[in-house]
């Protein structure tokens, strides 16, 4: 099979590799579509993200969909032929976090495209059967691949604990910020305020659930929102957002910034009894993602702005620098002439 391999920062090559065999409890998936994540671009450009360092050839890509073509022992043969969205996690089921249901926090996690684990920019991958989620025919391959970033947004909004009639402030109108806005609107949040330094991204946010979208300098004072979501990773945005939360409200940090630490307004957090938490991946989110997409409450197909083949991965990883770009999709088997249309708003 063909695989796009990161061999050094900024250097990719397509290699021929042996098709993997599914082990006990696993399925073999022929990959249909792979979304490009900011972490993929960061590994490509810098060779590392925090403590995760690419010190050996690595296959990128963790937002993926495909079709099951073989199964390992213990998996029903009837699964062969299913179209699936891949949850790219391989936790240790016996770890304490996994037993608590928080398997995303498993210390022994093997996660696609996180060194040293290869990802999905290849023609075939294996994954645990329980992490290959069947999807209906109405969902496109592209949307199925984007269940992964949607799951990040679902996990974020669950931490924010908001619902009908609430007000939310979201900093950052990249893919995760836009998805958080859609999930918030689907949850009944009546005011979704999005901020971004890029006016074009603000305009885009209005198409994806935001009731208003403005530059950070145009924020009114003392909005008193029920929750603040940071999807930017910028210290200035985080500090400003914390000052907009009502007493007893919540602050959820999902954006990954360039620095491991930053100054925080501790007195404000303490005196207002704000609840501050982070988000690390997700757990038990794929059923919710499927429901949101098939009901039309979240539109994933509309996020796709560019498509590439396996020999164009470098261009795909740089697509986020193109004005108007939201999500690039890579097709390991080649870009289809007419991509399937999926469920969701038109």
HEC profile of the chain: CEEEEEEECCEEEEEECCCCCCCCCEEEEEEEEEECCHHHHHHHHHCEECCEECCCCECCCCEEEEEEEEECCCCCHHHCCCEEEECCEECCCCCHHHHCCCHHHCCCCEECCCCCCCCCCECEEEEEHHHEEECCCCCCHHHHHCHHHHHHHHHHHHHHCCCCCCEEEEECCCHHHHHHHHHHHHCCCCEEEEECCCHHHHHHHCCCCCCEEECHHHCCCCCCEEEEEECCCCHHHHHHHHCCEEEEEEEEECCCCCCCCCCCCHHHHHHCCCEEEECCCCCCCHHHHHHHHHCCCCCCHHHEEEEEEHHHHHHHHCHHHCCCCCEEEEECCCCCCCCCCCCCCC
Q: Is the pLDDT of residue 258 over 90?
A: no
pLDDT(144) > 50:
yes
pLDDT in tens, 287-308: 999 999 999 999 999 999 999 9
pLDDT on residue 85: 98
As a whole number, mean pLDDT of residues 142-154 equals 98
pLDDT at residue 337 in the model: 63
| Confidence check: pLDDT of 269 > 50 | yes
For residue 12, which of 293, 320, 313 has the smallest C-alpha distance? 313
pLDDT tens-digit profile of 26-64?
999 999 999 999 999 999 999 999 889 999 999 999 999
Give the model's confidence band at 345: pLDDT under 50 very low, under 70 low, under 90 confident, else very high. Answer: very low
User: Model confidence over 160-210: pLDDT tens digits?
Assistant: 999 999 999 999 999 999 999 999 999 999 999 999 999 999 999 999 999
Q: Please give the pLDDT value at position 336.
A: 83
Mean pLDDT within 269-287: 98
- Residue pLDDT, tens place only, 76-117: 999 999 999 999 999 999 999 999 999 999 999 999 999 999
Over 90: is that where the pLDDT of 130 sits?
Answer: yes
Q: What is the pLDDT of residue 335?
A: 86
Q: Per-residue pLDDT tens for 9-23?
A: 999 999 999 999 999
Token pair 């062969």: residue: 80
Stated pTM of the model: 0.95
Mean pLDDT of all residues in 149-153: 98
Say yes or no to pLDDT of 247 above 80. Answer: yes
pLDDT at 341 (0 to 100):
44
Structural domains present in the chain: 2-146+300-331 (3.90.180.10), 153-278 (3.40.50.720)
* 149: pLDDT strictly greater than 60: yes
- For residue 338, the model assigns a pLDDT of 59
How far apart are alpha carbons 258 and 6 in whole angstroms? 22
- In this predicted structure, what is the pLDDT of residue 257? 75
Confidence of residue 334 (pLDDT cuts 50, 70, 90): confident
pLDDT above 60 (res 342): no
Is residue 142 a contact partner of residue 164, using CB atoms and an 8 Å limit?
A: no
pLDDT at 175: 97
């Amino acid at each position: 099979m063909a695989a796009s391999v990161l061999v050094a920062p900024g250097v990719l090559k397509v290699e021929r590799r042996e098709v993997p065999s599914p082990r006990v409890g696993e399925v073999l998936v022929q990959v249909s579509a792979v979304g490009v994540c900011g972490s993929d671009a960061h590994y490509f450009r810098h060779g590392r993200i925090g403590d995760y360092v690419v010190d050996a050839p690595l296959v990128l890509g963790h937002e993926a969909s495909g079709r099951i073509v073989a199964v390992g022992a213990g998996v029903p043969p009837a699964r062969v032929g299913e179209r699936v969205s891949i949850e790219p996690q391989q936790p240790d089921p016996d770890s304490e976090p996994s037993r608590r249901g928080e398997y995303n926090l498993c210390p022994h996690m093997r996660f696609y495209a996180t060194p040293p684990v290869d990802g999905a920019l290849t023609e075939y991958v294996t994954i645990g059967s329980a992490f290959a989620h069947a999807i209906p025919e109405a969902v496109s391959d592209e949307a199925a691949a984007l269940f992964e970033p949607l799951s990040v947004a679902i996990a974020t909004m669950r931490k924010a604990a908001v619902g009908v009639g609430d007000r939310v402030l979201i900093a950052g109108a990249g893919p995760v910020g836009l998805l958080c806005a859609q999930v918030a609107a689907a949850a009944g949040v009546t005011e979704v305020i999005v901020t971004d330094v890029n006016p074009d991204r603000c305009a885009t946010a209005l198409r994806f659930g935001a009731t208003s979208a403005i530059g950070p300098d145009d924020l009114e004072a003392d909005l008193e929102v029920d929750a603040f979501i940071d999807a930017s990773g910028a210290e200035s945005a985080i500090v400003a957002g914390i000052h907009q939360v009502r007493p007893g409200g919540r602050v959820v940090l999902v954006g990954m910034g360039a620095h491991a630490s930053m100054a925080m307004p501790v007195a404000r957090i303490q005196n207002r009894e704000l609840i501050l938490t982070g988000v690390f991946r997700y757990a038990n989110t794929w059923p919710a993602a499927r429901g949101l997409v098939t009901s039309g409450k979240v539109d994933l197909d509309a996020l796709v702005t560019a498509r590439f083949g396996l020999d164009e991965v470098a261009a795909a990883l740089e697509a986020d620098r193109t004005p108007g770009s939201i999500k690039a999709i890579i097709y390991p088997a080649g870009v289809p002439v007419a991509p399937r249309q999926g469920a969701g708003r038109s």
